[in-house]
């Protein structure tokens, strides 16, 4: 399972289209950025600081095939990058990310899947 953090409004558009084509940064880079469970909190802090009305989308990697590549990125860690649109059939769930009083994001991840 990999995760995508996205504004809720962008996700609503994707649901209507039947595919997620990516955020502006994804389109610019030529692939959709994802994080693993252990990378998601840092991704939220680095790229979505101060933003509300976000969703965390869980994606089943088995449905993505050869278009999913694991490539070095931040801190030389391997990050999942999807070189195609994201089909709704690969989505396990999409849940709201809440903002804690200190401004940090509270991610809706099951504690058995991650340490964030």
DSSP code per residue over 9-74: HHHHHHHHHTEE---HHHHHHTSEE-B-TTTHHHHHHHHSTT--SEEEEEE-GGGTGGGEEEEE-G
Note the Cα 9 to chain centre separation in Å: 14
Model pTM score? 0.89
107 secondary structure, DSSP code: -
Tokens, residue 57: 């989308």
Q: In this structure, what are the phi and psi dihedrals at residue 4, rounded to the nearest 5 degrees?
A: -125, 130
Q: What is the pLDDT of residue 116?
A: 33
Q: What is the pLDDT of residue 50?
A: 84
Residue 97 near residue 5, CB atoms below 8 Å: yes
Q: What is the pLDDT of residue 29?
A: 96
Q: What is the pLDDT of residue 104?
A: 87
Bridge-based pairing state of the strands 54-59 and 86-87:
unpaired
Q: What is the pLDDT of residue 114?
A: 40
Q: What is the pLDDT of residue 112?
A: 41
CA distance 87 to 76: 28
List average pLDDT for each run of 10 residues in the chain, which is 116 residues long: 96 95 93 96 91 95 94 92 96 93 85 40
């Amino acid at each position: 399972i990999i995760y995508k953090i996205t504004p809720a409004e962008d996700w609503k558009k994707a649901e209507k289209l039947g595919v997620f084509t990516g955020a502006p940064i994804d389109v610019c880079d030529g692939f959709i950025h994802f994080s693993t469970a252990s990378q998601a909190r840092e991704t939220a802090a680095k790229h979505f600081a101060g933003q509300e009305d976000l969703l965390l989308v869980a994606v089943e990697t088995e449905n993505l095939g050869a278009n999913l590549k694991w490539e070095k990125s931040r801190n030389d860690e391997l990050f999942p990058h999807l070189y195609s649109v994201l089909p709704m059939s690969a989505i396990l769930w999409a849940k709201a990310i809440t903002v804690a009083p200190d401004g940090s994001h509270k991610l809706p991840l099951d504690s058995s899947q991650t340490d964030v």
